[in-house]
Structure 1
Amino acid sequence: MNRYILNDEKTEISGLSLGSWAFSGAKVWGRCNEDEAARTIDYAIEQGINLIDTAEGYGEGQAEVLLGRALEGKRHKVVLASKVHMNNMHGEDLIKACEESLTRLKTDYIDIYQIHWPNEAIEIDETLEAFEKLKRDGKILNVGVCNHGAGALKRMKNYPVVTNQMPYSLLWRVAEQHFNEDLKKNNTLLWAYSPLAQGLLSGKYRKLGEVPMERRNTRMYDSKWGVGRHTDSGFEEEIFHFLSEMHNICDATGFTMVNYAMQFLKTRGNVGSILVGARNVEQLKANIEAYNQEIPKELLVVVDLLSDKLKGFMGTNADLWENSNNGRGRIF
């Protein structure tokens, strides 16, 4: 499995990482089987995945609680990342939120502490000062961000950010428009989440009608379904045309759609890790196999060009949930 060194020149992360939102018991995922979740975490570590991601907002801290229990005696084997909610960006609030996450995670420090979403209503200097205090106190080692486009990154004032989590996949390539010189200069790695576009690249869906209604809440879908916050018209026709062509390619080449999705991201220069969610060992095993199964470069070029046609429809706002003119991360 690929490994990357963060810009602190000390921390090594795996090219595939495990997310914990599915362990939170949140409504979108349903009830979590804690024993199965613990087995999944153990299997990830056994297979060389050392980067595990969580957030205080996942099930109101329940994902952190589960991780804390599952990692007892194994904490030293992982690079643990968590996120602070955008409403907790004032200095005192941020420090309090971090200390509460540490308690739930049963650890003395967090390897990568991330801003979950930008908050322009709070002065960034106050937030950065709090991060520095947490570093001095040994409670965090590195700072990362999530959902930060070019505008939000400028607010960070070249602060040493090790990772930027953004939605990035064959279907949603808007993040590429935010691979800017600041990222390269600071050696900030892109941490790609939603690599299967919330299941669209799993190979399960051939028609829009097969997608569960609760999954149609992103800007990839028309707002007429009434399950999202945005009012955009979506890109359903273009997406399902692409998926139809991908099914044909998969049938002709013998590689799965998940395999193509993983290998596409694995070969992108700025991607340091691909974040996957898995509710059980079997799901994680399938993701690992897809990540490890290499695809000939000439086939990836064909899929890349096919996917590239979608970019013209997606615009520049990489926020998957808010209107094209109202991205929370100022990423339009």
Structure 2
Amino acid sequence: MEYRKLGKSDLSVSVITFGAWAAGGWMWGGTERKQSVEAIKAGYEVGMTSIDTAPIYGQGTSEEIVGEAIKDLPRDKVQILTKFGMRWDLTKGDLAMHSKDNSGKAIDIYKYAGKESVIYECEQSLKRLGTDYIDLYQIHWPETVTPIHETFEAVARLKEQGKIRYAAVCNYSASQVSEADLVCEIVSDQVPYSMMNRKIEEELVPYCINSQKSILAYSPMERGLLTGKIKPGHSFAEGDARSEMKIYQPESIEKVNAFLQKIKPIADEQGATLAQLVLKWTIEQPGITIALAGARNAEQTIQNAKAAELKLTSQHIEFINSELSKL
């Protein structure tokens, strides 16, 4: 495993970080708690020491699973990345979506990051995670009700109190990162980025490179699409949000799989899977510090971690990018 520091901080994280959204079950058609705990532990054993979670993933379930998985591990050898700013228990802020919890009960999700809410959410996360500090505390989404400076004054207070080590953002534009950074040093921005979604290369990547901030790429495998294992007509479990997404419709799946077959020889020559190749390509892109990879069980985690071991030449990357430009 390779480790990289976030921004100008001394926080080193594994280039392949465990993404615990699916572990929470929410929007992924449920979860198997025991397998998720084992998946996180297996990651630690092969050097995947960083875990990214959020309160909203299963409305506390994901954080509880992470807490259970790390309780017997040395705390200073594990990096916990969690979030704040999405409430399902409070009708305040911007309505983000109508949804259902893991039991099927209807819930409304709000984006809200008022001062008192940030402090409250941190306390709840610490309890669920079973720890007294969070390594990286990230606002989950921008919201329009609370001024950015107010939100990050609360984050700065948490940092002063030692409850969090570093502050970060998710889904922020370059200008929003810059605004937050005036109040509290921001070390990273977690955003969607994959072979199929490269929008951030235009503005955010140059900004982060120039200002020495890290980019954490989420959904680098487009929730499984870039593994090559999803075929046209794939049947998703009830509650799995992927079934309604345009990129998961048969025509799109067919086009992506044809591209994957073209780059598969690069994986084959190293005895690697397509998923491993995709993850390695992601962390080799300019400005990208780490890639988040979810897993349902220990074997998937171990396979994800092996992506860091692949060797990609500039010719490999040029070929992949050339084929991508044809899509």
**Normalised TM-score (structure 2):** 0.82
Q: 1:115 aligns with which of 139, 143, 152?
A: 139
Compute the displacement of 1:106 (Å). Answer: 1.0
d(CA) in 2 for partners of 1:217 and 1:145? 27
Between the aligned partners of 2:276 and 2:186, the Cα distance in structure 1 is 30
Q: 1:80-99 maps to which residues of 2 (within 5 A)?
A: 80-86=80-86, 87-99=111-123
Decide which of 166, 177, 186 is 2:191's aligned counterpart. Answer: 166
- What are the equivalent positions in structure 2 for 1:215-234 lying under 5 Å apart? 215-218=242-245, 220=247
How far apart are the structure 2 equivalents of 1:167 and 1:6?
17
Q: Secondary structure of 1:117's match?
A: coil
For residue 261 of structure 2, what is the aligned residue in structure 1? 247
SS of 1:144's partner is: strand
Sort the Cα spacing of 1:127 and 1:200 in 2 relative to 1 into closer, same or farther, 3 A: same
Aligned to 1:55: 54
Q: What's 1:319 paired with?
A: none
Q: Deviations over 1:153-174 (max 9, x none)?
A: 3442544211211111111111
2:292 aligned to 256, 270, 275, which one?
Answer: 275
* CA deviation string 1:26-79 (max 9, x = no partner): 252413232x22222221111111211111111111111121122113222211
Aligned residue among 306, 309, 314 for 1:292: 309
User: In the aligned structure 2, how far is the partner of 1:252 from the partner of 1:268?
Assistant: 17
Q: Could you tell which deviates more after superposition, 70-79 or 131-140?
A: 70-79
Aligned to 2:234: 210
For residue 273 of structure 2, what is the amino acid of its counterpart?
T
Deviation at 1:202, TM superposition (A): 0.7
The one-letter code of the counterpart of 1:33 is: R
Q: Is the 8 A contact 2:6 2:214 kept in 1?
A: yes
> Is 1:2 the equivalent of 2:2?
yes
Distance 1:281-1:115 versus aligned 2 partners, 3 A rule:
same
- Unaligned 5+ segments in structure 2 are 87-110
Distance 1:30 1:188, change over 3 A: same
Taking structure 1 as the reference length, the TM-score comes to 0.81
Residue in 1 that maps onto 2:177: 153
Give 1:131 shift.
0.8
Instruction: Name the SS of the counterpart of 1:210 in structure 2.
Output: coil
Distance 2:62 2:325 in 1: 35
**Which of 158, 163, 174 is equivalent to 1:139?**
163
Cα deviations across residues 268-288 of structure 1 (Å, max 9, x unaligned)? 121111100011111112212
**Aligned match of 2:322 in 305, 315, 331?**
305
Bigger strand share: 2
User: Following TM superposition, by how much is the alpha carbon of 1:247 offset from its aligned partner in structure 2, in angstroms?
Assistant: 1.1
Indicate how the Cα distance of structure 1 residues 211 and 257 shifts in structure 2: closer, same or farther if over 3 A, else same. farther
Identity %: 32
Whole-Å separation in 2 of the counterparts to 1:264 and 1:256 = 12
SS of residue paired to 1:279: coil
What is the aligned residue count? 295
**4+ residue stretches of structure 1 with deviation over 4 A?**
236-239
Shift of 1:211: 6.2
| Secondary structure in structure 2 of the residue aligned to 1:39 | helix
Tell me, yes or no, if the aligned pair for 2:267 and 2:277 is still in contact at 8 Å: no
Give 1:205 shift: 3.0
